[in-house]
Amino acid sequence: MAGTNPKDNSYNVAAKRCRISMDVTIRVSEITPESVSSYFTPDEAGEEGLTWEWAERQNRLLQMLLQDKEALDQFLVNITREELEMLTQSEDEPNAPTNWEDGLFERVYSKMNSEDALFFQEAKKDGIRYENTQLVEKAFVIDWKKAKVEGRRVIKQDED
């Protein structure tokens, strides 16, 4: 039936856009043995799990990210945008890979000691960067329940 799908424009009289500005709080947690204990439990195959060194290295990356204001600001904007797109199911291409983290993390880990920098370079080269930065990403928690709408307005046709 025509017009029942929101993407079907057959019954639309007009299309308008509204811009809403929101403030959200993002909490950052330190990576500690307690906060990541689930990563170190033996698996079903009897393996010992990951080493604490793996988590310590990510905590050093987190600390370096927190010191780089420009990289941190870019990181916060992107994780907020991605999470909001997931909440509203509004992403342009569902499950489309994004690589903004690669360049951002490269900027940050290049300032770390040579052993850590080499570790993250190799992880990126081997295609396992996410697996080795996931604790950093999980350290950031967006508090959507306390989000505040700060502004709203209709956007003019030629305005972007």
Q: Enter the DSSP assignment of 23.
A: E
Distance, CA of 28 to CA of 14 (rounded, Å): 43
How many residues are listed for the chain in this entry?
160
Q: Could you give the C-alpha distances from 7 to 11, 12, 15, 61, in angstroms and in order? A: 11, 10, 12, 42
Half-sphere exposure of 140 (CA within 13 A, CB side): 21
| CA terminus-to-terminus distance, the chain | 33
Neighbours of 151 (CB within 10 A): 9
Q: Which residues contact 52 (CB under 8 A, 6 or more apart)?
A: 33, 40
Q: Which residues contact 76 (CB under 8 A, 6 or more apart)?
A: 26, 140
Give the per-residue pLDDT at 54: 87
Per-block mean pLDDT, blocks of 10 residues, the chain (160 long): 56 83 94 82 57 90 97 95 88 60 92 96 94 94 93 82
Distance, CA of 115 to CA of 123 (rounded, Å): 12
Domain residue extents for the chain = 24-146
pTM of the model: 0.76
